[in-house]
Amino acid sequence: MSSYADRLAALRAQLAEDRLDGFVVPLTDEHMSEYVGSYAQRLEWLTGFKGSAGSAVVLPQEAAIFTDGRYTLQVRQQVSGDQWSYQSVPETSIADWLKEHAPQGGRIGYDPWLHSRDWAKKASEALHARTATLVAVARNPIDVVWQDRPEASKAHLVVQPDSLAGQSSANKRTAIAEWLGKQGADAAVLAALDSIAWTFNVRGADVSHTPVALAYALVNADGTADLFVASDKVGPEVAQHLGNGVRLHERADFEEALTRLGGKTVAVDPERSVAAIFEALEKGGAKIVTHRDPTVLPRAIKNPVEIAGHQAAQARDGAAIARFLRWVEAEAPKGGLDELTASDRLEALRTEGGLLKDLSFDSISGSGPNGAIVHYKASPETNRPLEMNSLYLIDSGGQYADGTTDITRTLAIGQPTDEMRDRFTRVLKGHIALATALFPKGVRGSQLDSFARRPLWEAGLDYAHGTGHGVGSFLSVHEGPQRIAPVGSGQAGGDEPLQAGMILSNEPGYYKAGEYGIRIENLVLVVTKQVTGAEKEMLGFDTLTFAPIERRLVVTEMLSPAELGWLNAYHAEVVSKIGHQLGAEDRAWLEAACAPL
């Protein structure tokens, strides 16, 4: 179909054929993933929206697309306002919107393999106000009309060796079995792809930039497991690695296997398991107990081997970043650089080391006004040159076998304005405030979020995204449950107590629509801190990311002596951590870029 209007019309025709008066389209897959394979990109196919979080509702006469504050500008650029109304989350939820817009007595369809049970319950309750019904479809109507829909990836699984994982899969399964015993359960459903990759010490290539494989698993109270994955994806090395304690089944057989668990007590995570999993278990007569996926917290709290791997990956990545920053500084004033050539150059520099497996997400390479689009992705249509007297924002990361990186730097191309420097310095002050925070054990990320916002708030400014997200070990660049974000921000997390071993981003920002964007992002590790006279166990952060912060954008008079001391000490550590990896000219540039202010 040639246009998004044609696709919307085709879907409406299919809904009429299916006797449905509406359909809900999430941006997720059967595993509640944030990033999904091309076969599951239904929202993008239908609307043109390329962000990583959103959903839509299609009714016979109207349609709405729902995004949070990160995508306010992007959704208006990519999705036609002629066909779609723009709805902001969390101010307006799909359930709220349906309560006002669903046809009286209508049948609103949803795919039970793409929504949580809790979502379905809330949507169904909202529809009661319109005497309308939420209907689980047996086949997704988008899949019927999407004629050239890609197939799911056939990439092979690979082993993540214990030398990088820090713990064997057998030991992880034993820990899950012990947890099941405490819950009085016979088995646990693992549906989240990163949970499965972590538990079995395997990685895959089924989702762009996230090294996971499409699979489901049941971990049993005796420590054995049933792994449901396409058989042609499992080679001899992986089969040997999994061993006799893991029974292999086709992924397509998972639903039927759930119906055969009658009489068993099965633990299911309602946040990470779709409604269809609950339906299959109930159909078979299993007793369901709802608990958080037992791998979530152990996966978030990195062991010493994983921490060492992260540190090595960050130092390696920082050297590539430093070489890139020097290149931009030299080449941008000559003209000819644009967003795409810059991000391609950074990827090439990361690749030169020979250890890069993939990027950890599509690089956000935003020049001038494109930098104000928080999750911007450059394309041939939007590509802008790096112009003189502007700001350039580059948010990027790499996937290495020993760690996942994520870093943002904002660069001055030419002469920045006084306002740009003021805003940058406020963002830096917030970054430092979070980097140096001390807090008692038990504090949640939501309690720390305002540390990073205060310098902006003092000038009547703010940003519409969380301040920090968790990061995996050669897994998802966005990993829960830890997060630094306001409560009720529409983005998951913020309520999890921070614990030593967790890795998060520290990334305050400022965005002036139509002009420029600023963000400074490092990854940090939660560690125990010794505080003289402390009456509680205290925690804080150790910075993991080492690359220069743009000194020309810093208004030193706005920094306190302690803040200036932090920046100078950080830059000294940058030279110490990555300088030895650079050639003479790059090192000389680095030392100048990190000279004390």
Same domain, yes or no: 295 and 365: no
Phi-psi region of 243 (alpha: psi -120 to 50; beta: other; left: phi over 0): left
Mean pLDDT computed over 170-179: 98
Contact between 192 and 212 under an 8 Å Cβ cutoff? The reply is no
Task: Please report which confidence band the pLDDT of residue 489 belongs to, taking 50, 70 and 90 as the band edges.
Answer: low
* Residue at 266 is within a domain: yes
State residue 259's pLDDT score. 98
For residue 440, cis peptide bond before it (omega within 30 degrees of 0): no
pLDDT digits (tens, 9 = 90+) for 193-218: 999 999 999 999 999 899 999 999 99
Q: 533-554: b or e for each residue (b if 16 or more CB lie within 10 Å)? A: eeeeebbbbebbbbbbbbbebb
pLDDT digits (tens, 9 = 90+) for 292-338: 999 999 999 999 999 999 999 999 999 999 999 999 999 999 998 99
Q: Is the pLDDT of residue 161 over 70?
A: yes
* Residue at 230 is within a domain: yes
* Residue at 152 is within a domain: no
At 273, which CATH number? 3.40.350.10
Same domain, yes or no: 238 and 307: no
Q: 260-280: b or e for each residue (b if 16 or more CB lie within 10 Å)? A: ebeebbbbbbbbbbbbbbbbb
Last residue of a domain, one of 145, 176, 199: 145
Same domain, yes or no: 313 and 295: no
Using DSSP, state whether 47 is helix, strand or coil: helix
* The model scores a pTM over 0.85: yes
Same domain, yes or no: 285 and 306: no
Q: How far apart are CA 193 and CA 173, in angstroms?
A: 16
Same domain, yes or no: 309 and 210: no
Q: Is the pLDDT of residue 264 over 60?
A: yes
Same domain, yes or no: 308 and 295: no
pLDDT digits (tens, 9 = 90+) for 510-564: 999 999 999 999 999 999 999 999 999 999 999 999 999 999 999 999 999 999 9
pLDDT digits (tens, 9 = 90+) for 426-480: 999 999 999 999 999 999 999 999 999 999 999 999 999 999 999 999 999 999 9
* Residue at 351 is within a domain: yes
Structure tokens at 379: 């394309």
pLDDT-wise least confident of 112-121, 415-424, 487-496, 550-559:
487-496
State residue 73's pLDDT score. 85
Last residue of a domain, one of 280, 299, 318: 299
Find the helix or strand (DSSP H, E) in which 284 lies.
Answer: helix 275-284
Choice between 2 and 95, residue whose per-residue pLDDT is larger: 95
Residue type, 105: G
Same domain, yes or no: 259 and 309: no
Q: Is the pLDDT of residue 490 over 70?
A: no
Q: Is the pLDDT of residue 164 over 90?
A: yes
* Residue at 151 is within a domain: no
State residue 96's pLDDT score. 93
State residue 410's pLDDT score. 98
Same domain, yes or no: 285 and 315: no
pLDDT digits (tens, 9 = 90+) for 213-249: 999 999 999 999 999 999 999 999 999 999 999 999 9
State residue 488's pLDDT score. 65
Domain ranges, residue 266: 158-299
pLDDT digits (tens, 9 = 90+) for 67-121: 988 888 889 999 999 999 999 988 899 999 999 999 999 999 999 999 999 999 9
* Residue at 113 is within a domain: yes
Same domain, yes or no: 412 and 283: no
Give the rounded percent of residues in the chain with a pLDDT score beyond 70.
98
At 445, which CATH number? 3.90.230.10
Total of domains in the chain: 3
Same domain, yes or no: 288 and 311: no
Same domain, yes or no: 261 and 329: no
* Residue at 102 is within a domain: yes
Q: How much is the mean pLDDT over the chain?
A: 96
Same domain, yes or no: 332 and 215: no
Query: Tokens 């054995």 belong to which residue?
Result: 224
Q: Is the pLDDT of residue 493 over 80?
A: no
Q: What is the number of alpha carbons within 13 Å of residue 288 lying toward its C-beta?
A: 20
* Residue at 150 is within a domain: no
Task: Please report which confidence band the pLDDT of residue 491 belongs to, taking 50, 70 and 90 as the band edges.
Answer: very low
> What one-character-per-residue DSSP string does 161-215 give?
-HHHHSS-HHHHHHHHHHHHHHHT-SEEEE-SHHHHHHHHTEE--SBTTB---S-
Mean pLDDT computed over 497-514: 97
